[in-house]
Chain A
Amino acid sequence: AQKITQTQPGMFVQEKEAVTLDCTYDTSDQSYGLFWYKQPSSGEMIFLIYQGSYDEQNATEGRYSLNFQKARKSANLVISASQLGDSAMYFCAMRKRNAGGTSYGKLTFGQGTILTVHP
């Protein structure tokens, strides 16, 4: 079974500063993928960034980077230069992958962290 833990129910950050959202996971799978999604107040889930368990480099996508520490089973999201539009709920999720690199489909989500960016 897979489990995602996000220990920060809420986080505050000043505009233009960086913020780290924590995510730890538990799985017995050797191959898996880790995802971060953003959910604004409108409700739609927006994919931000992905990290494969065998990827040696930390993933980056614009202002988003994923601090992946496999031995510690953590996959923290770092948002640099925060903007007011970053205020939202953020979910960490994971999915099993088989040896061929294809996906088993369902995502297991954490409880989420509400990020508030102050001007």
Chain B
Amino acid sequence: GAGVSQSPSNKVTEKGKDVELRCDPISGHTALYWYRQSLGQGLEFLIYFQGNSAPDKSGLPSDRFSAERTGGSVSTLTIQRTQQEDSAVYLCASSPDLLREPYEQYFGPGTRLTVT
């Protein structure tokens, strides 16, 4: 079946502009995650959606970052007034029912964001 998809695959933007990154999770997956991977770094958690529960926003680095998930499916990560330190690969992941181990996360190919 189809995996997690993300768009765009690459985004170049000027400092100060807003950007929107999209994630389409695997159909039926109840949980959706956003991570950020900076050059040569590990993955940094940003935000997590689970069903109708309030999202876990504890990883968002500043109030310039926000995300929403519509209809329990597609998610959009928005970065306002982009800064050069926002340049990174933004990875989206989804996982199925949490009641069955290992409920691993399935990752998308990522969006490479470059802020000039």
Report which A residues bind B (CB closer than 8 A): 4, 33, 35, 37, 42-47, 50, 52, 91, 93, 101-103, 105-112
Contact B106 A47 (CB under 8 A): yes
- Tell whether, in the assembled complex, residue B43 and residue A106 are in contact, meaning their CB atoms are under 8 Å apart: no
- A-B CB contact pairs (8 Å), 30 listed: A4-B42, A33-B101, A35-B104, A42-B109, A43-B89, A43-B109, A43-B110, A44-B107, A45-B93, A45-B105, A45-B107, A46-B107, A47-B104, A47-B105, A47-B106, A50-B101, A52-B102, A93-B43, A102-B98, A103-B95, A105-B50, A106-B33, A106-B59, A107-B33, A107-B35, A107-B45, A109-B43, A109-B44, A110-B42, A111-B42
Nearest residue (CB) in B for A91 is B42
The answer to whether B48 has its CB under 8 Å from any CB of chain A is: yes
Tell me the complex Cα distance, A26–B42, Å.
16
Cα A108 to Cα B35 with chains together (Å): 10
**Given A44-B109, A105-B31, A106-B48, does the pair A50, B104 have CB atoms closer than 8 Å?**
yes
Known: A91-B43, A105-B50, A105-B56. A45 touches B101 (CB 8 A): no
A16–chain B nearest beta-carbon distance, Å: 28
Decide if B108 is an interface residue (CB 8 Å cutoff).
Answer: yes
* Interface residue B91 (Cβ < 8 Å from any Cβ of A): yes
Assess whether B70 is interfacial by the CB under 8 Å rule. Answer: no
Closest approach, in angstroms, between the C-beta of A59 and any C-beta of chain B? 9
Q: Is B2 an interface residue (CB 8 A)?
A: no
